[in-house]
Each structure stands twice: as structure tokens, then as C-alpha cells.
Structure 1
Amino acid sequence: METKKTKGTYYILFFLLHLFIGVFFYSFRFLSVGYAALIILLGCFFIVKNKNNNNEALFWAAYIVGAEVFLRMTKGNIGSEYGKYGVILFMLLGIYYKGISKKAAPYMFFLVFLLPSAFYGIIQLSFDTSIRKALVFNLLGPICLGISCLYLMDKKITFSDIEKLTRWMLYPLLAMVVYIFLYNPTVREVVTGTDSNSATSGGFGPNQVSTVLGLGMFIIFVRLLFFSKKISLIILHIFLLFIFSYRGIITFSRGGVYTGIAMILILVFFIYLFANIKAKFKIGAIASIMIVLGIGVFIYSISQTGGLILNRYKGEDSLGREKVSKFSGREELAVTELQLFYDNPIMGVGVGMNKEYRKDLLGIVGASHNEITRMLAEHGFLGIINLMILLIVPFVNYISNKKYIFLFSFFIFWFLTINHAAMRIAAPAFIYALTLLNFSFDEEPIVHRK
């Protein structure tokens, strides 16, 4: 059992270890496959050894979610969908040892409702298309979400569990940020336009890097607000918040940054509802500091990019001209998917067929960035039912779980992320499932309730 003293000691030790991991795998990138394998092996070992009595499945899944994009950067992924498979494995082990709540029935239907369009897609897909890849690419995210929900639905979690959850997710994100800084120490040399920039994103997809950096911003804010009792930790977390925000902004991918800010604002709102007058004053003071910090980060980012980041957020090109597309062409993909749904409202076009139809009919080659319109296009009426399940159940959960101040922050992460980055990574699936936890305060948090 972790005491407050050992938590603090472990935090600093693992903090330093993951800074070293970032440096190590920058120098020996080819060894990161071993890191990925070790995560799976250790996770399975501890879950099985303790029979998941301490909710090990939850924390190891959180660690994989934090590590996934870092492993993709370093080519350490064991297969392109390592993160989702890892989360699914840990969730299934959790289910094996602790079972499933009766309240999880909607997500059983969710998983079943994915099947008809999967079979329809197999029949429809052309011979030169890899059926396995098409199904995995489009279905593994929803499957990861559904299985995570089966395990986490109504799972009891306390405030100290939130502390551990944020810790475990933050560790590998720290390694990733170190790697990004080493990969690109001088921003000015690589920024020449206003498009998303892989050079400032560790050589990987800016959209996904921005997504997890935005999630990191929220995690650090939670740790700053609730778990920083020492002045040294307050300073450390403010510094980390600056670093994560800065690196998120200069990916030139706006979605993750907007999402991180939205998560923080929603959390502050719900904390305010439960706070007494003294705590409300503290929240106001912290909010003021965050606003000043945010302005400072953005001004610094402008100076480091020669003003190009300002153009990006204004929807302009490097010459200050307004771009034709405010969303990098994503809206055109979404419109084609909605049209496919209107033309095929019952069965949809089948899993994987969305991309083929778009290519054949419009000559547009590109995978969907919007999970909502993709689900409508490929699953038709059952897609509507599944979306209704995803949208409604967390709100029903909140009715009997109103102390769960993190619920809507997790929900907005999922909702905004699947609208700009689909479900390319495991993060939105796992974070959505966190909305279903049965939360209670096991101790009085720093921001006291009424």
C-alpha cells in the first residue's frame, strides 16, 4: 500500500527515470521495441500476480496510452496498432479477474452492432484491398473503446486512484517530450509555413502528437491543482505545463491544444460547483495564473516561429492570406461521408468501403479524420444507435455520480479528438471509458468541497 511519502518518492524517481528513457531512446532508437515488449510483459505479470486486486489493469492501460505515440515516434511499436491491442489485452485480463457490471449491457450491444457492417464490408471490398488491414484500421478503435467500457463501467475509483492514474499516464509523456526536444531543439530552423509540422513533432504525425500533448496539459493541471502540496512540486508542474503547452502549439496542429484547454476549463467549472468560498478564491487565483501563463506561452511560440503560429491559428497561410480550408480539408472528407450515409442509411457502405467509395466517386484519397461521420457512412442506422449509446450513457452515469468532477473533461477529450483525429490511437477509446467509473472522494482534496 502506497503512503503519501512513498508516493512522492516514487513520483520523483520514476519522473527522473522517464526523462532518462527519453534521452536513451533518442540515442538508441532501435531498442525501443524492447521497451514496448517490456510494458506488455510487466503489465501482464503484475495483473496476473495480484489478480488485479489493486486495479492494475487500469493503470497499465493508462501507461500504454501515455506511451503509444512515443513508441510510434521511435519505431518501437510492435505492429501499427500496438497501443490498442495492449489496452484491449489489459482490459480483458481485468474482466477475467473482476468481471463485468450489469450496467455495461449497452456496450455489449455496441460491440455486437459493429458486426453487420464488418461482414458487409468484407463482401464489398475489392480484391486488391487488404481486408484484414481495412477492418483493423476502422474497427480496432471502436472495439478497444467497447472492451474498455465493459471493464471500467461502474468500477469503483477514489481520489487517490486518480492521483495514480495521472501519474502513470504522465510518465511516458515526459519521455516523449524529452525526445521531441532532442529531435528538434531549434524550432526556427524547421518552421517555414503554417501547415502541421512533423519536424517539431518528433518526426511523427503532428495531429497525434498534439492530441497527447493536450492530454498531458490536462494531466499536469490536475496534478498542479490537487497533488502539489510542496512549493517545489508547484514550480515543477507549472514549468511542465509551460513545456507541454509550448510543444503542443508548435506542432502547428491545433486540435490537441484546443482539446487540452477545453478539458481544463470544464474541470475548473465543476470544481467551482463543489468548492467553498476559500477554495473558489484559490481557483480564481490559479485560473489567473493559467491565463497569464497561456498568454506567455503563445507569445513565446510566436517569437520562436517568426509569427507563423499566429497565422496558423488565424487560419492564414505564411503570407497572411486566408486559407480556403480552415480545417486542412477535413470538412470535405466529412461531407463525402455524410453523403454516403444519406445514400446508404440502413446498412451503410460497409467497414472499409468509405475510403474506396470516396476514391472511386470523387478521386479523393484519404482516410477519415472524423469518427462520427465515418461510423454513419460505414454502419448506417446501427451507427446512429452506437453513437447514441456513446453520447447518452456517460450523462446517465453522471446523474448517480455527480461528485465525479473529471467525467465531462474526459468526455470532451473523446468527443473533440474523434472529430479531428478519429481513433488513430488508443487514447480517445480509453479516456472515454474513464467517464463510466464510479467515483468517490476517499480523502479531502486540496480544493475542499462544500
Structure 2
Amino acid sequence: MSKKFSPYYILIFHVLIAFAVFVLPFLSKLYSIAIPAVGLYFVIRNKNRNNEVIFVAAYLVGAEVFLRMTGGNFNNEYVKILITFFMFLGMIYSNFSKKGLVYLLLMLLLIPGILVTFEMASLNTDIKKALMFNLSGPVCLSFCSMYMYARRISFSTLQNIVLLMGLPIVTITVYLFLYNPSVRDVVTGTQSNFETSGGFGPNQVSTILGLGMFIFFSQFVLFSKTKKEIILNGFLLIFVSYRGIVTFSRGGVISGLVMIVLLLGLMYYFSNRIGKNKIGLVVVLMGGLALGVWTYTSLQTNGLITKRYANQDARGREKKDRLGGREAIIDAELKLFVDNPILGVGVGVGKELRKEDLGEVASHNEISRMLSEHGLFGIIGLFLLLLVPFISYINNLQHLYFLSFYVFWLLTINHAAMRTAAPAFVYALTLLSVQVKFTEKTET
């Protein structure tokens, strides 16, 4: 955070952004232009000496859902394209570890699927759109990972990066309250709710708010040094968690909770006896807060939120599917893979082939999509994505957030694919060489 400005003023500024855009929606477009423009200025001015590109990318990740729900983005891949650009710029200024070239191999593995697309796509298929929609996420992940692989950074700097992601999430949450101040009035069933999600996709809103839950929990537990900071970060944690839950989209909230549990687990494992006792108190406190938030949410939704997480409809009847219809898509993609195991059916072609049976629905699962559309090359790519972070982590045990970040990526690509830049960027954060105390250098 900048020393020139109080963190409280910066937080208030992000609250005011929500009010301004709610009243004057066209300001969202200006916001979407201002972020990369200001970011580019700082990167060029400092020649990326302090890894400014990571800070810019982190802020873009936090702001992406807000820009999309308010019409600020110029297209759905806008933020992923910007992040890819900044990572490329960072590599020009600051080079990158040669070991990171393994992610160049990942991009090369995508090429056969692209070639199959040109062969298989029908005349009605918008090939450019299909390629951008399905490949912008993997390409963004590859550039982020190449830049961040083994790049040395202090833990306090990493937390500043994480906190920078959190600031626009505060803006999102305030905007959701303005858009829908009364949850009780709009919740009538147990399906994902667009009204409580700002009129935007509940799955994506839940995903970013789940990440926000982890961000403000980590800030609350590790970086709250005064009573004022404890109260503020505790309030933000409750604030974001409540709005995440009432989206009625479970994936992001569950991911956030798992991230928190893994962080607590690592903290407990590496702590001494006194530290373990303190963590025990934190667990009790968090359990009480969680119970309070859940009870309040249940009252506001007339108990429907409890039925949602129990996989029941509004009348309390068990639903046939547990994943909101995603099982049928996954099953169809696995069948396509079995029929086309080597090259797959081509990027974006799976959606066309499923249209007759399931309608025009895109995949929500990046793993099954990679299998069906890239075949054997998709398997190799997934194997690299799953394995490489752990190879990096062997010599990087001070990275306290490693497991939380890794699991966020893995869970998110299973319920929300790579619709947003968040899983790509957070995955790359697992590859940073995090040091608790050291004189910072950049490994090249």
C-alpha cells in the first residue's frame, strides 16, 4: 500500500466508486480505462523494478467482476487480455526464470486443438469468438506463470498484492447492497439468484466474493495489529461473506472456506505451542462468527439458504442433481473424449456438438473441457498444471498461502471454468518464491 495515502482513505475511495457507478453507470467504462492506464504509467515509470505488473494484475483480477456486472468491460476477455499484456511487459523489463518455460509448452499443447477447430467447426460457428472464449484463460495463466515462476518476493509484499485484489471486492460488495438492499424481498427459491448478484452471473460473483473471504480473513488473522484494524477487517470479512452466501451459488463460498481451513491448518502445523493455542482461539472465534453470519442469512432468506446447501428445493425436496445441471455437461464431454481421445473435438466445438441434446450451454468445468476439446494433449497440459506448483513448493515452504491458492484454482476451474482471470492469476501466485525476511531480488 502507498505510504502517501492512509489505507482507510483508499478503502473509502473504493466504497465511493460503488456509489458513483451505481448513480452514473457510464463511469464504469472510465474506471475500466483508468486502471490499465494508471497501471501502465507506474510500470513504465519504475521499469517494473518492484514487480509493479503483479500489483496491476492483482487489482484487475479484483475489479473484473465489477466491470462486467456494470458494463465497464469492452468484452468478456478484456481483463484477461490486459493481464496477459502486463505479464508480457513485465518479462521484457524483468526477464523470467527459464524454468517457467514449461508454461510455454502448455500453450504449444493448445495448438492441435486449434487446428482441429478449423477442420471441425460448422459454417455457423464464430471461430474467433470460440477460440477467445476458451483459450484466453489458459493463455493468461501461462503468461502469469512464466512471469511469476521462482520470482522472489517477501511475504509482506505478497500480502499487499492480495490486499490489492481485495479493494475492488469491497466495491463489488457495496454495489451489491445498493443494487439489492433487501435480500428477503427477492429470494423465493433455492436456485442461484441474479438479483442478489447485481444482475450478473451468481457463479462468478460467488467466486470473487469467496476469494474476498480468504483475503479479509488472512488480513484479520495475520495483519491486524490494532483494535481498529481488527474491527475493520472483521467487519469486511462478515460483510463479504454474507453477500457471497446470498448469491445462492455455492462454489465460490465453499472455495473460500476451504482456503481458510487450509491456511489455518498450515499455520497450526508450523506454530509452536503458544501459537497453536492462539490458533485454537481463532478457530473458536471464527466458528462463532460463521454461526452468526449463517443464522442471520437463514433468517433473511426464510431458511432457503439452508435448503440450498442441503441440495433441496424450496419445498425441502431433494434435487436430482447436485451440481445444477453440470453433471450432464461433464458426462457429455467425457463421452466426446472417449470418442476422440487423441486430438479431441477442437476448441469450442464441444459446445456445438452438445447443442442438440443440452442446448447452447458452455462448459463450467475446465478439466472435462480440456479432455473433450484437446484429447491427449489436454491430459498432458492438465498433468503439468497439477504437478509443477508442487515441484516449486518443495523449495518454497515459506509460502504460507500455497495450498489455499492452489485449491482455489482447482475448485474454481471445476465449477466456473476460466470465465474470469481470478483462477489463472491466483494459480500463478503459487509459483512465487516467498520469503519471510530477505533482501528482495528478482530471479531471472
Farther off after superposition, 269-278 or 20-29: 269-278
Tell me if the contact between 1:11 and 1:167 (Cα under 8 Å) persists in the aligned partners.
Answer: no
Q: Which residue matches 1:345?
A: 341
| Structure 2 counterparts to residues 46-445 of structure 1, below 5 A | 46-360=42-356, 362-442=357-437
Once residues 358 and 333 of structure 2 are traced to their aligned partners in structure 1, the CA distance between those partners, rounded to angstroms, is 14
Alignment of 1:11-50 (within 5 A): 11-50=7-46
Deviation at 1:133, TM superposition (A): 0.5
**Unaligned ranges ≥5, structure 2:** 439-444
Aligned position for 2:442:
none
Q: Following TM superposition, by how much is the alpha carbon of 1:314 offset from its aligned partner in structure 2, in angstroms?
A: 0.6
Partner Cα separation in structure 2 for residue 59 and residue 437 of structure 1 = 13
What is the root-mean-square deviation of aligned Cα atoms in Å? 1.2
Question: Structure 1 residue 365: deviation in Å?
Answer: 2.6
Distance of 2:199 and 2:360 partners within structure 1:
23
Secondary structure (helix, strand or coil) at the match of 2:398 reads coil
Distance (Å, rounded) in 2 between the aligned partners of 1:109 and 1:121: 20
Alpha-carbon distance in structure 2 between the residues aligned to 1:80 and 1:412 = 25
**How much has 1:330 moved relative to structure 2?**
0.4
* Structure 1 residue 280: Cα displacement: 1.3
**CA apart distance, 1:123:** 2.0
Distance (whole Å) between structure 2 residues aligned to residue 162 and residue 233 of structure 1: 19
The 8 Å contact of residues 213 and 241 in structure 2, kept in 1 or not, is answered as yes
Q: Which runs of 5+ in 1 are unaligned?
A: 444-450
Confirm or deny: 8 A CA contact 2:194 2:202 kept in the other structure: yes
Q: Percent same amino acid among aligned pairs?
A: 50
Q: Which amino acid aligns with 2:400?
A: I
Cα pair 1:266 1:408 within 8 Å, conserved: yes
1:100 shift after superposition: 1.8
Q: Which amino acid aligns with 2:429?
A: L
Task: Name the amino acid aligned to 1:279.
Answer: G
Q: Do the aligned partners of 2:255 and 2:408 also contact (CA within 8 Å) in 1?
A: yes
What SS is found at the alignment partner of 2:324? coil
CA shift for structure 1 position 90: 1.1
CA distance in 2, matches of 1:159, 1:262: 21
* Per-residue deviation, 1:364: 3.5
Query: Which string of whole-angstrom CA distances, capped at 9 and with x for unpartnered residues, describes residues 257-302 of structure 1?
Result: 0000000000111111221211111111111111111111111111
Instruction: Indicate the SS of the match to 1:29.
Output: coil
Q: How far apart in 1 are the matches of 2:24 and 2:360?
A: 35
After TM superposition, the structure 1 stretch with the greater mean CA deviation from structure 2, 98-107 or 63-72, is 98-107
1:447 paired residue number: none
Aligned mates of 2:430, 2:162 — CA distance in 1: 15
Shift of 1:339: 0.7
78-87 or 314-323, larger mean C-alpha shift: 78-87
DSSP-derived class of the 1:264 partner: helix
Once residues 142 and 115 of structure 2 are traced to their aligned partners in structure 1, the CA distance between those partners, rounded to angstroms, is 18
| Structure 1 runs (4+) greater than 4 angstroms displaced | none
Offset from partner CA, 1:154-191 (integer Å, 9 cap, x none): 11110221221122111111111110000000011111
Give 3-state SS (helix, strand or coil) of 2:315's partner: coil
Q: Is the 8 A contact 1:103 1:153 kept in 2?
A: yes
**2: CA distance between counterparts of 1:90 and 1:42?**
12
Deviates more, 1:366-375 or 1:26-35: 26-35
| One-letter amino acid matched to 1:385 | I
Once the two structures are superposed, what CA deviation does each residue of 1:5-56 show, in whole Å capped at 9, x if it has no partner? Answer: x38x531111110011111111111121010000011111111111100110
In the TM superposition, what is the alpha-carbon distance from 1:105 to its structure 2 partner? 2.3
Deviates more, 1:300-309 or 1:10-19: 10-19
SS of 1:129's equivalent? coil
Q: How far apart are residue 363 of structure 1 and its match? A: 4.4
Q: Find the residue that maps to 1:157 and give its secondary structure.
A: strand
Q: Which residue of 2 aligns with 1:448?
A: none
CA-to-aligned-CA distance 1:310-359 (integer Å, 9 cap, x gap): 11011000111111111100011001101100110000001011111112
Q: Structure 1 CA distance, aligned partners of 2:17 and 2:406?
A: 31
Aligned amino acid, residue 89 of structure 1: F
Q: Is the 8 A contact 1:166 1:223 kept in 2?
A: no
1:126 CA drift (Å): 0.9
Aligned-partner residue type, residue 272 of structure 2 = N
Is the CA contact (8 Å cut-off) linking 1:62 and 1:165 kept in structure 2? yes
**One-letter amino acid of the counterpart of residue 197, structure 1:** N
Q: Tell me the distance in 2 between the aligned counterparts of 1:76 and 1:37.
A: 9
Q: Output the CA distance in 2 between the equivalents of 1:420 and 1:383.
A: 18
